Amino acid sequence: MNSETEYREGLDKLATHYKEVLTLLGEDANREGLLKTPMRVAKAMQVLTNGYEKDAHQVLKDALFKEDYSQMVIVKDIDFFSLCEHHMLPFYGKAHVAYIPNGYITGLSKIARVVDIYSHRLQVQERMTLQIKECIEQTLHPLGVMVVVEARHMCMQMRGVEKQNSITTTSDFSGAFNQAKTRQEFMNLIHNNS
């Protein structure tokens, strides 16, 4: 986003609030180094939360193709970042998504876009995992879907328990992935480093 016209309505009001936040934190919002900070933060927050204005289901539908393929399709190591809704601090990591087509496939990049859309909202990892799975399930009607998300949470690293090396893993699955053998195949494939 380069042009100011690409930002959502309310940008100036958001910047005004961030200027007030700086003052409430004990800063001089009028000092040279902070003069443009409220607008920079407002723009950053609009970018970091732009998933609210996007339809993940439509993204998949825009690249929906009839295909007679019924084996596992995996898109792994999808980098993402999001903001924890409890502290508005980042959490980031990788999402791994698999589905077994049932007559239709979607463009592979669209799976990554679905992850981006749900991660660009105030989130909790558990909900994001579920939303990704449900979007693919409801749009493609596959034989099964599985999503695994692995993330580091700055709210755990910078404050509170301050555990820098902890990783949180969430998963959700449906259909054919209810079978332990199918889930295990997926897990083996996403953790295969070759």
Tell me the per-residue pLDDT of 95-106, one tens digit each, with 9 for 90 and over: 999 999 999 999
Model confidence, pTM: 0.92
Quote the DSSP letter at residue 112.
Answer: H
- Tokens 């007030």 belong to 20
Among the options 27, 57, 87, 134, which is catalytic? 87
Q: What was the pLDDT predicted at 126?
A: 98
CB-based contacts of 8: which residues, under 8 Å, 6+ apart? Answer: 46, 50, 53
With DSSP H G I counted as helix, E B as strand and the rest as coil, what are the percentages for the chain, rounded to 5? 45, 25, 30
User: Is the predicted pLDDT of residue 2 greater than 60, yes or no?
Assistant: no
Among the options 27, 57, 134, 155, which is catalytic? 155
- List Cα–Cα distances, 143 to 57, 112, 185, in angstroms: 17, 20, 15
Please give the backbone phi and psi of residue 97, each rounded to the nearest 5 degrees, phi first: -130, 135
pLDDT in tens, 13-41: 999 999 999 999 999 999 999 999 999 99
Among the options 123, 131, 137, 153, which is catalytic? 153
Q: What was the pLDDT predicted at 162?
A: 78
Tell me the mean pLDDT in the region 113-121. Answer: 98
Among the options 120, 125, 131, 135, which is catalytic? 125
Q: What was the pLDDT predicted at 157?
A: 83
Task: Choose among 100, 102, 185: nearest CA to 144.
Answer: 100
Q: What was the pLDDT predicted at 4?
A: 44
Q: Is 137 a catalytic residue?
A: no
Q: Is 86 a catalytic residue?
A: yes
Least trusted range by pLDDT, from 53-57, 134-138, 162-166: 162-166
CB-based contacts of 91: which residues, under 8 Å, 6+ apart? Answer: 81, 82, 83, 84, 123, 125, 151, 152, 153, 154, 155, 168
- Tokens 């909900």 belong to 127
Q: What was the pLDDT predicted at 161?
A: 80
How far is it, in rounded angstroms, from Cα 41 to Cα 19?
A: 10
Among the options 4, 6, 53, 85, which is catalytic? 85
User: Is the predicted pLDDT of residue 82 greater than 70, yes or no?
Assistant: yes
Question: Which percentage of the chain shows pLDDT scores above 70?
Answer: 96
pLDDT band (50, 70, 90) for residue 170: very high
Gyration radius (Cα) of the chain, Å: 20
Q: Is 84 a catalytic residue?
A: yes
CB-based contacts of 175: which residues, under 8 Å, 6+ apart? Answer: 100, 137, 142, 143, 144, 145
CA diameter of the chain: 63
Among the options 17, 86, 141, 191, which is catalytic? 86
pLDDT in tens, 122-143: 999 999 999 999 999 999 999 9
